[in-house]
Amino acid sequence: MAEPADYPPFQLGKPRFEQTSFYGRFRHFLDIIDPRTLFVTEGRLKEAVQLLEDYKHGTLPPGVTDEQAIIHPDTNETIFMPFRMSGYIPFGTPIVVGLLLPNQTLASTVFWQWLNQSHNACVNYANRNASKPSPTSKFIQGYLGAVISAVSIAVGLNVLIQRANKFTPATRLLIQRFVPFPAVASANICNVVLMRHTELEEGIDVLDSNGNVVGSSRVAAKHALLETALTRVVLPMPILVLPPIIMSVLEKTSLLRARPRMLLPVQSLVCLAAFGLALPLAISLFPQMSEIETAQLEPEIAMATSSKTVVYNKGL
């Protein structure tokens, strides 16, 4: 496949685009979530695995071209298609459509919130950092916390809205459409805190300019969790806020009033477009390897290096 003229040269093992700028990170993650990689054949995948092995042993053949990774970098196992980053949008969009369906019952609210958090948990687990062993109980704890918080907030807000006598039925229906956002955003924060709270106690590795580990910093861990939590709040914002606004306008058009059966397909397309825009924007907010001034860290770490800044892996 021919590459666009503005593509920089490919180097195996390194991101194609510069990660210090938002634009570079945005272009990098557009590659990562490219749904075309879902259709890579098993034979092509085996070639890619062999290519990575050749690279590790310094026997890379000439004329290598870029291939999107659909295998886990730590385990070398194939990631199940619905849980790859490239599958997040096509497999997640139907769930978003379900979350935003009007006139939700208690049962449907619980079902769609549960399904959304289950999908998120599977994506998080499939793309986890597996370089160090982590107990499965930590993921279960984060999953249960996210499901409970999402369902509780969604059901609680729906009950409050139903009991609010100040609103007209039309206004009540419009407000209900925005309930999924605070529920999902709160659940995402809960998931991050429960799954990564040990980092706040033990710290995370910080590296100097030469890539050497200087120490484990709790201050860096706090920064990493704040950045990750902010990303998880920004991500569902366009996905769960823009479609209700757009659909409230489109539903008043003569086209959709005359053809009510088109409402669901149109809403699906709107959700797909919002999802496709929001995902790369949200995960590009912060670099994967974030930088922090050494003076802000613990004294023992500041004394262990002459570098003015160190970097840490914030996670996704």
Of residues 262, 264, 288, 234, the one with CA closest to residue 97: 264
Whole-angstrom Cα distance, residue 289 to residue 177? 36
Measuring CA to CA, which residue among 35, 36, 18 is closest to residue 26?
Answer: 18
Please choose, from the candidates 186, 195, 118, the residue with its C-alpha nearest in 3D space to the C-alpha of residue 154.
Answer: 186
Closest by CA to 182, choosing from 236, 248, 254, is: 236
Better-predicted residue by pLDDT, 66 or 71: 71
Q: How far apart are the C-alpha atoms of 11 and 311, rounded to whole Å?
A: 22
- 82-102 tens-digit pLDDT: 888 788 888 999 999 999 888
Give the span between the Cα atoms of 75 and 71, in whole angstroms: 8
Residues 94, 136 contacting (CB under 8 angstroms): no
Q: pTM of the entire structure?
A: 0.71
Percent of the chain with pLDDT over 70: 80
Q: Is the distance from CB of 151 to CB of 184 less than 8 angstroms?
A: no
Query: Stretch 258-263: mean pLDDT, rounded?
Result: 90
Tell me: pLDDT of 49 over 70: no
Residue 2 is predicted with a pLDDT of: 40
Yes or no: say if 250 and 273 are a contact pair by the CB < 8 Å rule. Answer: no
By CB atoms closer than 10 A (0-12, 13-18, 19+), residue 63 is exposed
For the stretch 238-249, pLDDT in tens is: 888 899 999 989
Strands 289-293 and 309-313 come out as antiparallel
CA 50 to chain centre: 28
Measured distance CA(17)–CA(265) in Å, rounded: 36
At residue 270 the predicted structure's pLDDT band, cuts being 50, 70 and 90, is: very high
Query: What is the predicted pLDDT for the residue at 13?
Result: 47
Query: In a 10 Å sphere around its CB, with 0-12 CB exposed, 13-18 middle and 19+ buried, how is residue 144 labelled?
Result: middle
> Which residue's structure tokens are 């999953």?
143
Instruction: Give residue 66's pLDDT.
Output: 43
Average pLDDT over the chain, rounded to an integer? 79
